[in-house]
Structure formats: C-alpha cells, structure tokens
Amino acid sequence: MYSAVLFVLCAAPVNAGAVKWVYANAGATSADQSAQTATWGGICVTGTEQSPIDVVTSSAVPTSLPNIDTHFTAAVAFVKNSGHGFQLFETSPATHDLNASGVFVDATGTPKGYSMIGGEKYNFYQVHWHTPSENTIDGKSFALEAHFVHQLADPALVGTYHRLAVIGLMYELGECNKFLDMFWSEIPTMKGSAAYTGAFPDLNQKLTAELAEGYYHWYGSLTTPPCTEGVSWNLLKVHETVCERQVKKLQSALGNTQNGISFNNRVTQLLNHRVVTSTGVKATVVAHTPSAAAAPVAKAVATSTDDDGVKTVVILTLVAVLLMVVIFIVGLAFLFQKLSTLPKAA
C-alpha cells in the first residue's frame, strides 16, 4: 500500500491530467513563488503552517526538549535519483532491494530503524538532498540541505502523510564532504536507481556528535505537494561542508530531469503564529569524515552558551535592580513627607 504514497521530492502531478508542480518556470535560475503557487495549489497555497521557513535565531525560544537519538539499521543496497533529487532508501518503513526488474521490498521486509524525536519513536524512511537549502537561518541560504524523513511508529499511519518528522542538516560551501563522496558519484544522472556495493559508514555514528549539539524545532509541512501540515521539523545546529563539485553533480542531474531547472527548493513561507524553539548550544560548522564522524565537536563549541539565554538573565537582573531602586526612592519620599508633618519643637 505504501508504494502508492509519494513523499518529498517524488515527482507526481498535483492531480491526474493537471500540470505537474514545478519549482520555477523554464529558464528561471532560482525558485519562484508565483510558479509554485500556480502549479501546487491546495493547502500549499492556503495553509498557515507551511515549510520551509527562515529560522530567526534571536527569536528562537530556549527549551529543554530531549536530544534526538538515531537507531538506523539498514544498509544501503542502491542509490536513487527520484527525478527531483538524490535519495537513499525508499519512502517506506520496510527495507528495499534492487534487481533487473526494479526496486522491491526485500525478503525480510525488516524496518530500517528509528529515531527518538521529542521523546517519541519515529520509524526512519529515507534521506534526500535539496540545493540550495529550503530552510534558511537568519536569512542565509546554504549550498545543500539533507532531510532524514521519519513517521511516528504506528502501523495505522503507514501509507498516510500523518505524524511525519524530519531531521534537517545544512551544508555550507567549503571542503568536499567525504561522506557524500562515498556514494554521490554512483547516483544516476537521470531518474532511476543504481546498485551500490561500496563501503558505507554507520549513520548513527555519523550523526551522534551533531545531534548532541542541539537543534531548532517547529511544526510545519511537507515542502512539496500536497504540503500536508503537522510535520515535526528538527534542524540541526551543527552544519557540514560540501564542495562545488558535489553541488554541481546534483544541479546537473536536476537539470536533466526538471527541464533545465537545476534547483529543488521551495521558497520560504511565513511563520505566522508558530514559535521556533531551540535546544543545545550555538550553531557551528564541522567538516565531517566517515572515520571522524563520531568524534566530539570542539570543546569551545561544547562549552559555549546560548546568547538568548544570557540576554534574558541580564535583562531580568536589570529589571529587578531598577525595581528595587524605585521602591527605595518611594520609601525615602514617604519618610520625608512624614517628617515634615511632625510638630516643630518649641
């Protein structure tokens, strides 16, 4: 049943016979709001909790949400060009394999693992990449963004768009990413899948240090039609690097499958009434390698404090001091008034 349900970056018409949704019109060099509005429709246009968003770090509310823990178990058997981006694994709780006839659920049908997000268990489905990033931070766009897609571990939800969760990871332009280089060149430049037999690091080990540094959390939507809302978004504060060669590989493939459109990002949406919360420390950039992925982030980063929290404490302290000064002055004025009414000595 689940194979009929397509998720983020799976190219499907908005409805049968309709114009396919697009990121921009032919010849455009960046995502276009008007083209997306015209071809996406539905809640993509009318919704009030849409994704992606611009995360304004100074407005993020510090919170004590639990750390995210991943427990991924699946091995990579093939790599995929969905027609709208690069992807590992199928959008399903079951492990898939690849043969001459195509992609299929493997003989065991075992799950691919899960993550603990906000204290709840979410089954891991797939990871895919956007260029440029869909979410932005303080107005800044990034060269690449990964989305680790999950769904709440409830069999009744399988085959639906409900109770989804995404772990987002930003990549800044810099050194080539050695993790991506392990499989990036194997992904087809046209829509389809290719067998993968190379080495592959433990995704849990890769993400451990990054997850420990905290994340921004809010509720949003899918970033492609049908733009279903209620998605738990969790954007890591730690960023990785990606080089121009790797970005161009994805851009070239997108151009092949999207009529020359070499990007796959939705424009940012209004936050409206929503609140972005923040856990952990300040954001930083790390150049990860598979062998060093689990190493702790620099001590300076681990011991840094949240600027917003410090500002809040300082402001509250100043308010308290000012209040005490006002009370003291009022008390003195009252005392002098009483003294002035006392009868004078003869």
In angstroms, the CA 102 to CA 116 distance is 32
Residues paired with residue 78 on neighbouring β-strands, in sequence order: 195
What burial letters (b/e) apply to 79-116, b meaning 16+ CB within 10 Å?
A: bbbbbbbbbbbbbbbbbbebeeeebeeeeeeebbbbbe
The pLDDT of residue 244 is 98
Cβ neighbors of 273 (< 8 A, separation 6 or more) are 48
Question: 158-189 pLDDT, tens per residue?
Answer: 888 899 999 999 999 999 999 999 999 999 99
Tokens standing for residue 144: 């690449």
- Could you list the active site residues? 84
Q: What are φ and ψ of residue 125, in 5° steps?
A: -110, -60
**Residues paired with 114 in a beta bridge:** 71, 123
Q: What is the CB neighbour count within 10 angstroms for residue 287? A: 15
Note the pLDDT tens digit of each residue in 274-305. Answer: 999 999 876 666 655 444 333 333 333 333 34
Residues paired with residue 221 on neighbouring β-strands, in sequence order: 229
For 194-240, the pLDDT digits (tens) are: 999 888 878 898 888 899 999 999 999 999 999 999 999 999 999 99
Q: Is the pLDDT of residue 7 over 90?
A: no
Contact 110, 94 (CB under 8 A): yes
> At residue 107, does pLDDT exceed 50?
no
